[in-house]
Amino acid sequence: MFDEIEAPLVRVLEEMEATGIRVDGAMLEAMGRDLRAELERVEREIHDLAGHPFNVNSPQQLRKVLFDELGLVPSGRRTQKTRVHSTGQEVLEALAAQHPLPARVLEYRELSKLLGTWVEALPKLIDPEDGRVHTRFHQLGAATGRLSSSDPNLQNIPIRTPLGRRIREAFVPEPGWLFVSADYSQMELRILAHLSGDPELIRAFSEGRDIHAYTAAAVTGIPLEEVTPELRARAKAVNFGIIYGMSEFRLAREQGMSRDEARAFITAYFERYGKVREYIDGVIAHVARHGEVRTLFGRRRSFPELIATEDGTRGGLSRPQREALVRQAVNATVQGSGADIIKLAMVRLHARFRDQGLAARMVLQVHDELLVEVPAGEVAQVERHVREVMESAARLAVPLAVDVRSGPNWSAVH
DNA sequence: TCAGATCACCGC
DNA sequence: AAACGCGGTGATCTGA
């Protein structure tokens, strides 16, 4: 782990930080003008609906307007520390049925988030020397072995909404260069298939299936062709939820199912993917004995509090505390193995570019994606090298599939 | 003016 | 009592 991955990665990250990534400041300034105008319009609508002005950015003031003044019925969801009524996204979506204001607030929040966190912040961080933004990569920024990124964080640039995606358009290569983006397809589920050895999950990936649709069919017994988008979305939630140790409570809440339906779905999942259940139980037993878990390549994360005591007590932890640590331990094997694999790929890809005399250079890593800035004439070669290096970084029981695309900005490659 | 807590929300 | 893992950032609020 240290000699072959972390030690050589130091220089790779150092070079990526020094290289930075080019950001089109003028484009963001123009977006900023549009967004500010739009934000003011939405803000006026909100104030009209409330009957008076207030700071929409203040959950405290918003709470007062929604629940005291307009008399909307709270959902029951409370905030974490102060246990007051939440004004979070899910709550506002539900409240939208009662009054037009919550939907406007959701709109306001999207605009204000994009404007404040990226559109206004990024231009200030462009180095006037080279027109590029130089993030910091923290090699062990996450407890699982993942990188983190700060000042600015370039691992959480928007992509989900159309407006958000426009921010990615401002990330551009040098004139005459292109971006090549490569991302591991369903990386963590493939790792789970490998670690658990589950034959059904392995078959799905080996046959190149749409894993969420496949799971939906496998769990319900419905033929693959008859899986509806809604059913597929539920299966997708379960596929991810398994990696995170999701409860039936949350699945039910988020998918609009009853507790019984959610429980049945999860039960059916483990009946179909039995080795996944065994794998999770195996990790839990291992950490109870050794107080640590290991990833595919031997990275360790310590959980001393989870070592089983002689008398079977929980070592001073409440049940929720212990369960939270167990979820962390199980997830760390999967997420950490993903980190191992992409970090090794980065080390090898850097060496490959050097050995092949290519000018191409890695500029970003976003957990399962590498973004490379490439002279136009090298694109075809680099695409081949990137795919080859990433796909062969680990030999798993399933193929490690990589999607590779090139384009003129960071939005165009997705 | 500043630090820390809180809430909310962006990504994988 | 809590309920899905890993991060970072901005706005607000509070108190020094």
- In tens, the pLDDT along A2-14 reads 999 999 999 999 9
Mean pLDDT computed over A317-334: 93
Name the residue type at position A318: S
- Strand C contacts (CB < 7 A) among A residues 95-134? 112, 116-117, 120-121
From A104, A125, A146, give the residue that closes a domain: A125
Residues A16, A140, single domain; the answer is yes
* Predicted local confidence at residue A351, as pLDDT: 98
Residues A42, A100, single domain; the answer is yes
* Predicted local confidence at residue A253, as pLDDT: 85
Q: Which domain holds residue A136?
A: 1-23+130-188+326-414
The residues, ordered by sequence, that sit 6+ positions from A56 with a Cβ below 8 Å of its Cβ are: A43, A46, A62, A105, A108, A112
A325 CB contact with strand C at below 7 Å: no
**Count of domains in chain A?**
3
Name the nt closest to A240 by C-alpha to C1': C4
User: What does the alpha-carbon distance between residue A196 and residue A279 come to, in Å, rounded to a whole number?
Assistant: 5
Residues A59, A195, single domain; the answer is no
Nucleotides of C under 7 A from a protein CB: 1-14
Q: State, as a whole number of angstroms, the distance between the CA of A225 and the C1' of C8.
A: 41
Cα angle for residues A284, A289, A292 (degrees, 5° grid): 70
User: What does the alpha-carbon distance between residue A32 and residue A38 come to, in Å, rounded to a whole number?
Assistant: 10
A107 pLDDT band, cuts 50/70/90, is very high
CATH number, domain of A51, equals 1.20.1060.10
* Predicted local confidence at residue A239, as pLDDT: 94
Question: pLDDT for A64-96, tens place per residue?
Answer: 999 999 999 988 888 888 898 999 999 999 999
The residue ranges of DSSP E strands in A165-299, in sequence order, are: 177-184, 292-294
- Neighbour-count burial of A225, counting CB atoms closer than 10 A to its CB (0-12 exposed, 13-18 middle, 19+ buried): exposed
Does A196 have pLDDT greater than 80? Answer: yes
The answer to whether A57 and A63 are in contact (CB under 8 A) is: no
Report which residue is nearest nucleotide C1 when distances run from CA to C1': A320
SS3 A364: strand
Residue A153 tokens read as 């964080």
From A70, A104, A125, give the residue that closes a domain: A125
Residues A338, A414, single domain; the answer is yes
From A125, A147, A177, give the residue that closes a domain: A125
User: What does the alpha-carbon distance between residue A146 and residue A156 come to, in Å, rounded to a whole number?
Assistant: 14
Residues A312, A333, single domain; the answer is no
The answer to whether A152 and A21 are in contact (CB under 8 A) is: no
* Predicted local confidence at residue A74, as pLDDT: 87
Say which residue, A77 or A213, is predicted with more confidence. A213
* Predicted local confidence at residue A82, as pLDDT: 87
Residues A73, A180, single domain; the answer is no
A1 CB contact with strand B at below 7 Å: no
Residues A348, A207, single domain; the answer is no
Residues A11, A134, single domain; the answer is yes
Mean pLDDT computed over A244-262: 89
The answer to whether A121 and A96 are in contact (CB under 8 A) is: no
User: What does the alpha-carbon distance between residue A66 and residue A87 come to, in Å, rounded to a whole number?
Assistant: 9
CATH number, domain of A312, equals 1.10.150.20
Does A363 have pLDDT greater than 80? Answer: yes
What is chain A's mean pLDDT, rounded? Answer: 95
Say which residue, A82 or A194, is predicted with more confidence. A194
A254 pLDDT band, cuts 50/70/90, is confident
Mean pLDDT computed over A171-185: 98
Residues A227, A308, single domain; the answer is yes
A298 pLDDT band, cuts 50/70/90, is very high
Residues A7, A148, single domain; the answer is yes
Residue A312 tokens read as 């079977």
Name the nt closest to A254 by C-alpha to C1': C4
Mean pLDDT computed over A329-348: 97
Residues A165, A195, single domain; the answer is no
Q: State, as a whole number of angstroms, the distance between the CA of A321 and the C1' of C7.
A: 20
Phi-psi label, residue A230: left if phi above 0, alpha if psi -120 to 50, beta otherwise: alpha
The answer to whether A140 and A89 are in contact (CB under 8 A) is: no
Residues A227, A313, single domain; the answer is yes
Report which residue is nearest nucleotide B10 when distances run from CA to C1': A156
Mean pLDDT computed over A273-284: 96
